Structure 1
Amino acid sequence: MIMSIESWSLFIISASLLSLSPGPDLIFILSKSLAHGRKIGLTAAAGVCTGAFVHVLAAALGLSAILATSATAFMLVKYVGAAYLIYLGIKALFAKESALAFKDKTNKKTSASSVFRQGMLIDILNPKVAIFFMAFLPQFITAQSGYVIEQTIFLGFLVILIGFAIEAVYVFSAAPLATYLKKHSRFALWLDRAFGGLLVGLGARLATASRT
């Protein structure tokens, strides 16, 4: 695909700023990194990116237009996503001990798959992500060159790749704190509750979001 240097620069800067901005996916990744270390943090990021790719495919096939034009469809996905974020937040708020207290190695594999699914659902159930890809990607597509679906998927994949790279930096920056938190369980518990409060707040914000 043919794009000018200016267009590529704008695309990369915009995709990077999107990934740097705080949101439910970043809060989720940071909380899992602090609680379980780098491996689970990267698993959370992979789940979030997988969910984002579902939206890219939907945008490429035109399915995201339904969320942008149908108030009913948008509200349905919005409220399900908001409820899921609030559920995760309340779960963290009322936990009796920090996630750092779970040290059973036999649960590592199950925990990783659960974290991956949670990350994927957080992104899939956020209609704002669907509308972002539908509004953002077409600005960089060269229609006259054809292969619109392929271009959409390629650009969407690049956005996700940039996002994963930035999220990995967050993961590797946050993970060393886990050693400190394991030695200060009370502080870790309150940190879990702070993340839970943020998730509840983000869920409430999503529930009141409009399509514009």
Structure 2
Amino acid sequence: MDFSTIWLFVIAAATVLIIPGPAVLYIMARSIEQGKKAGLVSVLGVSLGGSVHVLAGAIGVSAILMTSETAFSIVKYLGAAYLIYLGCKTLFSRPDKTTSEIPKAPSQKLLKIFYQSALVEIMNPKTALYFLAFFPQFISPSAGSVPVQFLLLGTIFLVLAFICDGLYAVLAASISKRILGSKVSSKLQSRITSYLYIVLGVICAFASPSKI
């Protein structure tokens, strides 16, 4: 794989990542709900989930999701149900008595946020299908091992996604910090976060192999 192909991939991937997708909306929801630290931990979790899809794509496991309607449906609905669960949990949870500050995730809960974020990304079949549709456009069998090329492109994509998602997390936390400070804004924040989770769940529920 030559450098011109890699740079073309970088430009294409960066263009795609600038547009907020389900993962970005999830990360922003976390940042709004629990602050910048929780948002950045979510970025790490999503990156781990993305790496699982890259590895799966490299060894051909993701192809099963493309050809098996049953496998796709199982992963799709599990992911959708989990996101909707998070949304409903946030929507119906009681707000903290102190509303003058952004509710921060306690340090002992950051690991839980990390695992939740990774699980959400792993259970999103559209990520696997997107990788299978996007990466082959820059892979050439004559350039060497296809799995190695897939892994290389996946690593580049994950690094770019990490940077982009991190910026979105910081931006969301910053905006949230500016609008918080009253019971009304706290309730609004909670509703926005919960609705984001639910919308993401619906998006996953209606995902299909033909709609990447």
TM-score, with structure 1 as normaliser:
0.88
* Structure 1 stretch displaced more, 183-192 or 173-182: 173-182
Segments of 4+ moved more than 3 angstroms: 7-10, 98-105, 177-182
Contact 2:53 2:122 in 1 (8 A): yes
Counterpart selection for 1:87 from 85, 88, 108: 85
Unaligned runs of 5+ in 1: none
- Cα drift, residue 62 of structure 1: 0.3
Aligned length: 209
List per-residue Cα deviations over 1:69-120 (Å, max 9, x = no partner). Answer: 0011011111111111111111122122169869998x72322111111111
1:18-50 CA-to-partner distances (Å, cap 9, x unmatched) read 323333321221122223332221110010011
Give the share of equivalent positions with the same residue, in percent: 39
| Alpha-carbon distance in structure 2 between the residues aligned to 1:99 and 1:32 | 20
Q: CA deviation at 1:181?
A: 4.7
One-letter identity of the residue aligned with 1:58: A
> Match of 2:191, as an amino acid?
R
Corresponding residue for residue 11 of structure 1: 9
Q: Is the 8 A contact 1:85 1:203 kept in 2?
A: yes
Structure 2: gaps spanning 5 or more residues: none
- Indicate which of 45, 56, 64 corresponds to 1:47: 45
Contact kept in structure 1, 2:139 and 2:146, CA below 8 Å: yes
Q: What is the alpha-carbon distance in structure 1 between the residues aligned to residue 6 and residue 208 of structure 2?
A: 30
Tell me the distance in 1 between the aligned counterparts of 2:207 and 2:16: 18
Q: Kindly provide the CA deviation profile for residues 148-201 of structure 1, in whole angstroms up to 9, marking residues without a partner as x.
A: 222211110111111111111112222233443552243122222122112212
Question: Alignment RMSD, CA only?
Answer: 2.4
TM-score normalised over the length of structure 2: 0.88
Query: What SS does the corresponding residue of 1:175 show, helix, strand or coil?
Result: helix
Q: Distance in 2 between matches of 1:50 and 1:64?
A: 16
Q: Distance in 1 between matches of 2:58 and 2:97?
A: 38
Matches of 2:207 and 2:175 in 1, distance apart? 34
